[in-house]
């Protein structure tokens, strides 16, 4: 019996330990320590932004981005239904209204051709969410946003180090957000980053991250913020991870290509798209979508793979089907057939950076067994 293969495992064998020891030895473990500013500076440079503001996780990064853009009661924000709940929660809490578009069945990203028809006089922003390592087709989104004077938020949590037409993902729109959860391309355990070129927005995000304390009159508050600070310990790991981002994205790309080679040609199984005319896939995770006529849905396939010692994860459950959203009265009678099909029939197999070539072969063999090919 082979050892269980987890869906994700990070690699922490660079300078992580060394920098953590520096934190301990110097006594700097809080968010005031020097690694935080260093991580912000190096990360924002990497994604070609003037400002990076480190926060406690990727969800917090989105929350603070929405608040900093002044999105609030009655405003509409257009975003994909096929995404994580983090994208809608602050929109809803602020009193704004999420407006959804379906996915493209081939790229799995938001179908940008649906955006225009969703714009109303109340539309305030469009949220781009790059899915599973392949970017959204960004230029048409930026064009429509410009035409209607809309803000653009770019959730780049799944595309660190990825390029769109040669430009870094996370460099688009008014504000972009990243997560450093352990399954992302680089990790700080928990962590996130907000990036922008707008000095005013950057200052708002910094204030909101830190309870809106005011310089000079610390405990007098004009606005309500949050405590979303990243610690020096987390940032130390982040700096070490960032040193290896290029290596990691190349490795993930190789892993994806290896899976595609081993799993290609199974009839009734859709694999991730290798490239579009604007980007090569960096395979944040390696997803499979089973055809309905295969007679096995994602849930069954994942259970069978688990029985064979392979950890898998379901695809996102679309926002318009979420009980919490239905209970709040959103998306009544709306359906998005591509996203619904993707949830029902899609899942991803072990894709973490620590996965070995041998494990990729084992996983592929077991996938073929489960799918009867
Ligand atoms: C992971 C992820 C997030 C949330 O990040 P956390 O750090 O887990 O809060 C947000 N958006 C997308 C697209 C993600 O993949």
pLDDT greater than 70 at residue 51: yes
Phi, psi torsion values for 371, nearest 5 degrees? -90, 5
DSSP state of 284: S
What is the CA(100)–ligand 1 centre distance, in A?
18
158 Cβ inside 6 Å of ligand 1:
yes
CB 195 within 8 A of CB 176: yes
d(CA 286, CA 158) in angstroms, rounded, equals 12
Q: Average pLDDT in the 243-268 region? A: 96
Nearest CA to ligand 1 atom 3: 58
Q: Average pLDDT in the 230-242 region? A: 98
CA distances (Å), 104 to each of 9, 273, 338, in order? 29, 11, 7
pLDDT at 262: 97
Residues 6+ apart with CB under 8 A from 43: 52, 54, 178, 193, 195, 238, 242
pLDDT at 45: 98
59 Cβ inside 6 Å of ligand 1:
yes
57 Cβ inside 6 Å of ligand 1:
yes
Q: What angle do CA 275, 245, 190 make, to 5 degrees?
A: 110
User: What is the pLDDT confidence band of residue 2, given thresholds at 50, 70 and 90?
Assistant: low
Longest dimension (CA), the chain: 69
- In this structure, are strands 76-80 and 313-314 parallel, antiparallel, or unpaired? unpaired
pLDDT greater than 60 at residue 1: no
Tell me the domain boundaries of the chain: 16-242, 245-370
CB 102 within 8 A of CB 318: no
CB 256 within 8 A of CB 272: yes
What is the CA(342)–ligand 1 centre distance, in A?
19
d(CA 170, CA 179) in angstroms, rounded, equals 11
pTM, to two decimals: 0.97
Tell me what the pLDDT averaged over the chain comes to: 97
Q: Average pLDDT in the 71-83 region? A: 98
**What are the pLDDT digits (tens) for 262-280?**
999 899 999 999 999 999 9
Q: What is the CATH number of domain 16-242?
A: 3.40.640.10
207 Cβ inside 6 Å of ligand 1:
no
pLDDT at 82: 98
pLDDT at 216: 93
What is the CA(178)–ligand 1 centre distance, in A?
7
What is the CA(62)–ligand 1 centre distance, in A?
9
Residue 89's nearest CA partner among 177, 197, 162, 200 is 177
User: What is the pLDDT confidence band of residue 257, given thresholds at 50, 70 and 90?
Assistant: very high
162 Cβ inside 6 Å of ligand 1:
no
How many CA within 13 A on the CB side of residue 243?
13
d(CA 304, CA 57) in angstroms, rounded, equals 33
Q: What is the CATH number of domain 245-370?
A: 3.90.1150.10
192 Cβ inside 6 Å of ligand 1:
yes
């Amino acid at each position: 019996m082979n050892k269980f293969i987890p869906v994700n495992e990070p690699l922490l064998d660079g300078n992580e330990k060394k920098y953590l020891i520096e934190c301990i030895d110097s006594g700097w473990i809080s968010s005031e320590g020097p690694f935080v500013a260093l991580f912000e500076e190096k990360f924002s440079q990497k994604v070609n932004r003037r400002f990076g503001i480190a926060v406690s996780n990727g969800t917090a990064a989105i929350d603070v981005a929405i608040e900093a853009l002044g999105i609030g009661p009655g405003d509409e924000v257009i975003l994909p239904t096929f995404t994580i709940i983090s994208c809608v929660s602050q929109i809803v809490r602020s009193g704004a209204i999420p407006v959804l578009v379906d996915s493209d069945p081939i790229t799995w990203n938001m179908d940008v051709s649906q955006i225009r028809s969703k714009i109303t006089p109340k539309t305030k922003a469009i949220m781009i969410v790059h899915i599973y390592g392949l970017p959204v087709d960004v230029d048409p989104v930026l064009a429509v946003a410009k035409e209607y004077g809309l803000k653009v938020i770019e959730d780049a949590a799944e595309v660190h180090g990825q390029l769109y037409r040669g430009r870094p993902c996370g460099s688009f729109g008014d504000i972009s957000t990243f997560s450093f959860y352990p399954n992302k391309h680089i990790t700080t355990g928990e962590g996130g980053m907000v990036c922008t070129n707008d000095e005013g927005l950057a200052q708002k995000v910094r204030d909101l991250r830190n309870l809106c304390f005011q310089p000079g009159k610390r405990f007098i508050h004009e606005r309500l913020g949050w405590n979303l600070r990243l610690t020096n310990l987390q940032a130390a790991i982040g700096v070490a991870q960032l040193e290896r981002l290029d290596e990691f994205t190349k490795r993930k790309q190789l892993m994806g290509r290896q899976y595609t080679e081993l799993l290609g040609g199974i009839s009734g199984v859709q694999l991730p798209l290798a490239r579009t005319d604007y980007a090569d896939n960096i395979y944040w995770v390696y997803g499979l979508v089973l055809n309905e006529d295969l007679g096995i849905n994602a849930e069954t396939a994942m259970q069978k793979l688990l029985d064979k010692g392979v950890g898998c994860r379901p695809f996102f459950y679309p926002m318009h089907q979420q009980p919490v959203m239905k209970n709040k009265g959103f998306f009544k009678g709306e359906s998005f057939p591509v996203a619904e099909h993707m949830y029902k029939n899609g899942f991803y197999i072990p894709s973490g950076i620590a996965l070995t070539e041998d494990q990729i072969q084992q996983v592929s063999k077991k996938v073929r067994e489960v799918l009867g090919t």
